[in-house]
Structure 1
Amino acid sequence: MKFRKADEMERYQSEKSAKYAFMFYTIALLVWSLFDFFTKGKTGWEFTILLIGNAIFFWSRAIYNRKMR
């Protein structure tokens, strides 16, 4: 099976979809973490997942940005 490269419109749609999915997961994990913090007095694994996911996102953006220069 041979895969074809995505055209410009498909890349644009994928980028928009990924942006909205990332925002949803970030907000959902943040709300869940804050809820746990205020009800239980501590954050759970969801806050750790949120921090690691955001660190990976911004680290990879910095690397791709550096490669483009």
Structure 2
Amino acid sequence: MLEDKLIQTGEIEKYVGIGKTKIREIIDSGEFVKPIFISGFAYSLYSVKEIQQWIEEQKQKRNTKK
């Protein structure tokens, strides 16, 4: 099983292949993985496992749309 890793917003694009502007739109719309806020950090973090799960969910949507 893969270990989870927390990444910053700027790193998300390398996992999903979507540009920063579109990622920000998806995050702001509430349709993306919820950020993790850790006390003492100036920025939010995201779970790589949750991002990978989100990608799988998007693939499933592709298979159910007509």
TM-score, normalised to structure 1, is: 0.35
Larger RCO, structure (CA 8 Å, separation 6 or more) = 2
Return the structure number with greater strand share: 2
Q: TM-score scaled by structure 2?
A: 0.36
